[in-house]
């Protein structure tokens, strides 16, 4: 347990010096940066263009609601990841360069994925049934004049 504790709470520069490296312990930033870039660009595209251009989304209230919530949860996660990676790269001796922040960020992302899997398994079918009932009932309601 002591090894795990020191692995999580040691900054990369100190760990690299203890391992005999001339610099901080290396981290492959490429996959993490791609993940962060997608996490920032997808919500940005969705809010600028996606709500208008995705076919059928304008008429489908459930998916509009779901995508709004997904994107509202994705961009803070991605921005936080960018900050964590920046500290790991630029300030290797700082408090925020510890691995615990990277691990917490990844666990946050896994929590978001688990939440949406739970939602689609447990709640989505009921939301779709309610949406279809409302749509069917709307056929019998008088239309407002524009």
CA distance 68 to 110: 19
Which tokens hold the place of 92?
Answer: 């290797």
pTM of the model: 0.78
Cα(72)–Cα(47) distance, rounded to whole angstroms?
Answer: 10
Q: How many CA atoms lie within 13 A of 105 on its CB side?
A: 25
The alpha carbon torsion through 44, 46, 51, 52 (nearest 10 deg) reads: 80
* Residue written as token pair 């919500």: 43
At residue 146 the predicted structure's pLDDT band, cuts being 50, 70 and 90, is low
Assigned token pair, 107: 């666990």
Mapped onto helix, strand or coil, the DSSP state of residue 10 is coil
The residue-averaged pLDDT of 127-146 equals: 82
pLDDT, tens only, 34-63:
999 999 999 998 888 877 676 666 666 777
Domain boundaries, the chain: 2-137
Q: How many CB atoms lie within 10 A of CB 125?
A: 10
* Each residue's pLDDT tens digit, 74-127: 999 999 999 999 988 888 778 888 889 989 999 999 999 999 999 999 998 888
Report yes or no: 120 and 59 within 8 Å, Cβ to Cβ.
no
């Amino acid at each position: 347990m002591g090894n795990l504790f020191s692995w999580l709470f040691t900054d990369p520069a100190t760990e690299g010096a203890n391992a005999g490296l001339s610099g901080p312990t290396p981290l492959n930033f490429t996959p993490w940066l791609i993940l962060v870039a997608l996490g920032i660009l997808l919500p940005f595209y969705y809010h600028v263009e996606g709500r208008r251009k995705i076919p059928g989304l304008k008429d489908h209230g459930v998916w509009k609601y779901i995508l709004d919530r997904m994107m509202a949860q994705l961009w803070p996660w991605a921005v936080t990841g960018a900050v964590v990676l920046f500290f790991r790269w630029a300030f290797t001796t700082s408090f925020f360069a510890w691995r615990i922040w990277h691990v917490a960020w990844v666990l946050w992302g896994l929590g978001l994925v688990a939440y949406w899997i739970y939602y689609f398994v447990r709640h989505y079918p009921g939301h779709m049934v309610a949406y279809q009932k409302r749509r069917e009932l709307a056929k019998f309601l008088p239309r407002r004049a524009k």
